[in-house]
Copies of this chain bind each other. A is one copy, B any other.
Amino acid sequence: MQTPCRVCPLRSLPAFTKLEAGKVDFIQSLKSNHVYQDAGTWIIHAGQPSELFTLFSGWAARFKTLEDGRRQILNFMLPGDLLGLHASMFADALYDIVALTEVELCLFPRKRIWSLFQEAPELAFDLTWLGARDESLVDDNLLTVGVRSASESIAALILSLYRRADKLGMVNDKTLLFPLTQQHIADALGLSLVHTNKTLNKLRRLGMFDLEHGMLTLRNPHVLARIAKAFDADFAPRPLI
């Protein structure tokens, strides 16, 4: 059961709302397990019933696959994100979630979700809020894939991941551990691998960022934001369940 939720290191980040100790304890009472998984392993399988998780550490990707194998990454998950909220409300998950790095997961059995609605309406509200935030990330990705060019798309993706990581204290000296391969980026943006590679290098040569050996360094966030035509959609601190 690892660290008790009261002293969860995520919770003390400014990215998350403060919560009374009693409610934190209630969350802990719902948590059934603390799980470790290796990079590349499945967290949620499309077509199968799934539990609800909070990503405690590491990166994950949620995606759908067409019968012919083409795949679309719907969004990337960073620590503090909820995994499988939708999947756990339906009979079966409609998507896969895979670990991109080693991950730690807080496991909340789907059966207990209902008791959360019954006994802790504030937390139920937070859960719904988090689902809404999730969707707004997917909305942004759909906007990107639908209207942005390859350069704009990559700029927007890099920027958005950087900002999210920054709020979680994962950025040091403008640099962050970045586990995505170019294939991941291509699958998230609906681009081919080759074109992703060329566009990535173009932006790199323009001095927008460095990206090698799994390290991303932002060199010119302002111009990158101009290229991306990105908003500054800054979310207030969010609940952590």
Report A's interface with B, CB cutoff 8 A.
Answer: 64, 66-68, 70-72, 74, 85-86, 89-91, 94-95, 114, 117-118, 121-122, 124-125, 127-129, 131-132, 134-136, 138-143, 145-148, 189-190, 229, 233, 236
Smallest CB-CB separation from A94: which chain B residue?
B136
Measured in the bound complex, the distance between the Cα atoms of B71 and A122 in whole Å is 35
Smallest CB-CB separation from A122: which chain B residue?
B117
The reply to whether A142 and B132 contact each other, CB–CB distance below 8 Å, is no
**B-chain residues with CB within 8 Å of residue A131 when the two chains form the complex:** 128, 131-132, 135
Measured in the bound complex, the distance between the Cα atoms of B89 and A171 in whole Å is 29
Measured in the bound complex, the distance between the Cα atoms of B145 and A124 in whole Å is 32
A34 nearest CB across to chain B (Å):
25
The reply to whether B94 and A233 contact each other, CB–CB distance below 8 Å, is yes
Measured in the bound complex, the distance between the Cα atoms of B105 and A144 in whole Å is 30
Ordered by A's residue number, 26 sampled pairs between the chains whose C-beta atoms are within 8 Å are: A64-B140, A66-B143, A66-B147, A71-B147, A72-B142, A72-B147, A86-B132, A86-B136, A89-B128, A90-B132, A90-B136, A91-B236, A94-B136, A114-B125, A117-B121, A117-B122, A117-B128, A121-B121, A124-B124, A124-B125, A124-B128, A131-B132, A141-B142, A142-B142, A145-B146, A145-B190
